[in-house]
Amino acid sequence: MRTGKRWIVQNRLDDVATALAPLPAGEPILDVDLGVELRLLQDIPFGHKFSLREIAAGEKVHKYGQVIGRATKPIRAGEHVHVHNLESLRGRGDLQRFADGVREGKA
Amino acid sequence: MQILGYRRRDGRVGVRNHVLVLPVSYEVNAIAEHITRAVPEAVTFRNQHGLNQSGADLVQTRRVYEGFATHPNVYAVLLLAWGNEPHDLKGLVEQARRAGKQAELIALETVGGVRGAVREGVRIVRRWTEERAAVERVEVPLSSVILGTECGGSDACSGISGNPTVGVVSDLLVEQGGTSILAETTELIGAEHLLADRAATPEVGQRILHIVRRVEENAMKMGVDIRGAQPSPGNMDGGITTIEEKSLGCIYKGGTTPIREVVEYAERPTEKGLVIMDTPGHDIEQITGMVAGGAQVVIFTTGRGTPTGSPIAPCIKVATNSFTFRNMRDNMDFNAGDIIDGQATVEQMGMRLFALMLEVLNGKQTKAERLGHREFGIYRVGQSL
């Protein structure tokens, strides 16, 4: 874990970093050790995430070195990652109901 | 390591010496309020339940009453009842007395109604608040402490600062032979495989996976996704996107030691070390369950600044970021935001929080105690009939 700067990557396997301050669009994000070099494409609110790399729609997204969900659309490096482009894979009764409907020929 | 606590007759150790007025159903809340208004040194809470319950749901509610009536932080307990509650109330008084408490039951119908109950209650409770001074703090081992850990109103900092700091405290307490409770089963979804890997036995590992599967299936049976409530709108404002992300930050509170046991809601752990209690994420129901299970102290991290406490256990409020610490300074005891600001490491903050916990165990009042935060809520597992 690296602290004491304006953003944090919690595990080397992570696809996202967390802003430790409000970060403006255009801010350069550099970390030689992690091989990260990008500019933020959007303002990132305090505590929110931005992508460290290009992520394809449907790809799993990692934080803490673990899966935190799936990209619902392509995400560019430096883009804000939140509910608009990342969804949970767990506790999804809505998907279950859809699947049940398909089986029963209702969907 | 030793602390100064109250040694009870059943061998358990208290860190407070409360006189508790326990309303066993909603019928008698007003009486409990009248009594504690007359004797403000005593504590009470509002109870929403206690009637029209059955089966496992009734058993669980009873377990909470037993946990509170026999709790080591309680010197004396006055059970207030209407008289028609579906509980063996005399048995509950006996249990409390066997645990070494002063205990009495006032049933409304035996004292002529409200006025009689208040008159009788004030007389008893006032006497206890005078008598309890005779019980003094003595040296007791830190290993007798059960810590309840909780995170509520999480933000993205919870998994970076607050929860890892509590994890250090949890590890230090376990190293001293004490017990730490990790709970909030909903907030283990997505992280349960990491916890199962840390189980002390294969059975404990299976049990962890079972309770998480159960809560996830229950949510899915409703035909909705849990995103409406987990993460909550406040969590999302704070930057948390999915339940997996929230859970992975949540489990830091349990530190790094093996998981010894999984207990039911409000059940007392039989093992020392790190244990998991199956509770909902609902803050008050969780804290009530852990305290009923014997936790004498609670550490509660919050990114959004929730103010809640418990009627009988000190609750240490830990802000995960400095904005919240400043914006909620009346309610926050500790600022883990120094980690976010680059002023301290998780290990340093963990040592400081451990030192604060020792002070609180030895008698220092928390903000929630001073402000009178005495929230209480029972996790219901059946419908009201």
C-beta atoms of B241 and A64 within 8 A:
no
C-beta atoms of B219 and A91 within 8 A:
yes
Rounded-to-integer distance, Cα B204 and Cα B317, Å = 30
pTM listed for this prediction? 0.94
Contacts of A99 (CB under 8 A, 6+ apart): none
- Is the pLDDT at A92 greater than 70, yes or no? no
Q: Based on the domain organization, do B92 and B25 belong to the same domain?
A: yes
Q: Which chain B residues touch A89 with a CB distance below 8 Å?
A: 242, 244
Cα nearest neighbour of B161 on chain A: A3
Q: Is residue B5 a part of any domain in this protein?
A: no
**Which among A19, A63, A93 has CB closest to B245?**
A63
Q: Which chain A residues touch B340 with a CB distance below 8 Å?
A: 3, 20
Q: Which helix (H) or strand (E) holds B148?
A: strand B146-151
pLDDT for the residue A97: 56
CATH number at residue B78: 3.40.50
Domain range spanning residue B245?
A: 143-370
Q: Based on the domain organization, do B197 and B318 belong to the same domain?
A: yes
pLDDT for the residue B204: 97
pLDDT for the residue A1: 44
- Is the pLDDT at A2 greater than 70, yes or no? no
Residues of A contacting chain B (CB within 8 angstroms): 1, 3-5, 8, 10, 18-20, 45-49, 63-64, 66-69, 81-83, 86-97
Kindly list the averaged pLDDT for each block of 10 residues, start to end, along chain B of length 385. Answer: 97 98 97 98 96 94 98 98 92 97 96 95 98 97 98 91 98 98 94 96 96 88 69 89 94 98 98 97 96 98 94 98 96 97 95 98 98 96 89
Q: Based on the domain organization, do B116 and B149 belong to the same domain?
A: no
Q: Based on the domain organization, do B108 and B187 belong to the same domain?
A: no
Q: Based on the domain organization, do B104 and B200 belong to the same domain?
A: no
At B92-115, the pLDDT tens digits run 999 999 999 999 999 998 999 999
Interval A77-86 mean pLDDT: 97
Tally of domains in chain B: 2
| Cβ pair A43, A24 in contact under 8 A | yes
Sheet order of strands, B102-107 included:
B18-23, B74-81, B102-107
Is the CB of residue B218 less than 8 Å away from at least one CB of chain A? Answer: no
Percent of chain A's residues with pLDDT above 70: 81
CATH 2.30.130.110 fits A7-103, yes or no: yes
Q: Based on the domain organization, do B300 and B219 belong to the same domain?
A: yes
Q: Based on the domain organization, do B207 and B312 belong to the same domain?
A: yes
Put simply, the chain B residues between 221 and 260 with a CB less than 8 A from any chain A CB are: 221-227, 230, 236, 238-239, 241-245, 248-249
Q: Is residue B382 a part of any domain in this protein?
A: no
Domain boundary (B134, B163, B179) is at B134
Domain boundary (B85, B115, B134) is at B134
Q: Based on the domain organization, do B177 and B304 belong to the same domain?
A: yes
Could you tell me the maximum CA-CA distance found in chain B, to the nearest angstrom?
A: 63
pLDDT for the residue B228: 63
Q: Based on the domain organization, do B110 and B171 belong to the same domain?
A: no
Domain boundary (B134, B160, B191) is at B134
Phi-psi region of A69 (alpha: psi -120 to 50; beta: other; left: phi over 0): left
Q: Is residue B379 a part of any domain in this protein?
A: no
Q: Based on the domain organization, do B198 and B343 belong to the same domain?
A: yes
- Is the pLDDT at A98 greater than 70, yes or no? no
Angle formed by the axes of helices B55-69 and B283-292, nearest 10°: 60
Q: Based on the domain organization, do B225 and B251 belong to the same domain?
A: yes
pLDDT for the residue A99: 55
Q: Is residue B378 a part of any domain in this protein?
A: no
CA A10 to chain centre: 13
Cα nearest neighbour of B320 on chain A: A47
| Cβ pair B266, B67 in contact under 8 A | yes
At B362-373, the pLDDT tens digits run 999 999 999 999
pLDDT for the residue B253: 98
Q: Based on the domain organization, do B166 and B287 belong to the same domain?
A: yes
Interface confidence: ipTM more than 0.90: no
At B315-346, the pLDDT tens digits run 999 999 999 999 999 999 999 999 999 999 99
